[in-house]
Amino acid sequence: MKVKLKIWRQENAKAKGSFQKYNFDKVAPEMSFLEMMDAFNTQLITEGKEPVAFDHDCREGICGSCGMYINGHPHGSVSGITTCHLSMRHFKDGETITVEPWRAKAFPVIKDLIVDRSAFDLIQLAGGFISMNVGGAPEANDTPVKVKNADEAFDSSVCIGCGACVAACKNASAMLFVSAKVSQFALLPQGRAEAKERVEKMVAKMDEVGFGNCSNTYACEAECPKNISVANIARMNREFFSAKVS
């Protein structure tokens, strides 16, 4: 299987990047996209050329570090998966594959396909901690939680912070990410003590680091590898407005 690769190359954060075109004919359909990139880099190294820099870690779809913008979609066109789980079976022989980094003011490019996503860390740090009793395990029935709330909190907590929502949004908004992190605590009694302070600080930090406003196009939900719902954004807005008027 052969593919044509159009990859964004950028030496460092201050350099001017550009797309470079390559031909690669050592692709097996059973390869993952990252395995294909590994094989391609091996070829570049063998030829005495600089390999393509890209992020990866667990390769199990749970860390989110493998984010790439592939043919106009964060993590590729297959929904509900990260780049490391994207199979080369989804591409045609001879197809041109365009690969580039996330595009956002708050996600500056470090090198090639690697971006600095520490802005997400700053938002989470701004949210602070929750107040709860520590020590021995409490009686399970001491803190009743509605099943619906528990389920929605869990669904929100599976956000891996990959940044696909930012890459998908025409305004580079981080609302889906922030709202998921707000929701996972706001829905549970353990997170209610600091709820007002948390949402105000996280939204303020989101604006401060340079993310845009929600575009209301649902592109974030459509491209999220963990299928985080935009219902979280509505919940975060309610939490925020409630904090401001109380």
Kindly report the CATH number assigned to the domain that includes residue 50: 3.10.20.30
Shared domain check, 230 and 170: yes
The pLDDT of residue 204: 97
Shared domain check, 67 and 25: yes
Residue-number span of the structural domain to which 36 is assigned: 3-111
Q: What is the CA radius of gyration of the chain?
A: 20
Shared domain check, 144 and 26: no
Separation in Å, CA 211 to CA 9, 67, 102, 173, 228: 24, 18, 13, 5, 19
- Whole-structure pTM value: 0.93
Which of 69, 84, 111 is the last residue before a domain boundary?
A: 111
The pLDDT of residue 224: 97
Shared domain check, 194 and 104: no
Shared domain check, 122 and 106: no
Shared domain check, 126 and 49: no
Beta-strand relationship, 73-74 and 96-100: unpaired
CB 34 within 8 A of CB 84: yes
Q: What are phi and psi of 110, to 5 degrees?
A: -90, -50
Sequence-ordered strand ranges (E) for the chain: 3-9, 18-24, 69-70, 73-74, 96-100, 109-111, 114-115
Taken as a whole, the chain contains a residue count of 246
Shared domain check, 160 and 129: yes
Shared domain check, 231 and 185: yes
Shared domain check, 143 and 233: yes
Kindly report the CATH number assigned to the domain that includes residue 160: 1.10.1060.10
Kindly report the CA angle at 216 between 212 and 219, in degrees rounded to 5? 85
Shared domain check, 131 and 237: yes
**Distance from C-alpha of 205 to C-alpha of 127, rounded to nearest angstrom:** 9
Shared domain check, 102 and 18: yes
**Distance from C-alpha of 221 to C-alpha of 241, rounded to nearest angstrom:** 23
Shared domain check, 165 and 103: no
Per-residue pLDDT of the chain (246 residues; tens, 9 = 90+): 999 999 999 999 999 999 999 999 999 999 999 999 999 999 999 999 999 999 999 999 999 999 999 999 999 999 999 999 999 999 999 999 999 999 999 999 999 999 999 999 999 999 998 887 777 877 777 788 999 999 999 999 999 999 999 999 999 999 999 999 999 999 999 899 999 999 999 999 999 999 999 999 999 999 999 999 999 999 999 999 999 997
Domains identified in the chain, total number: 2
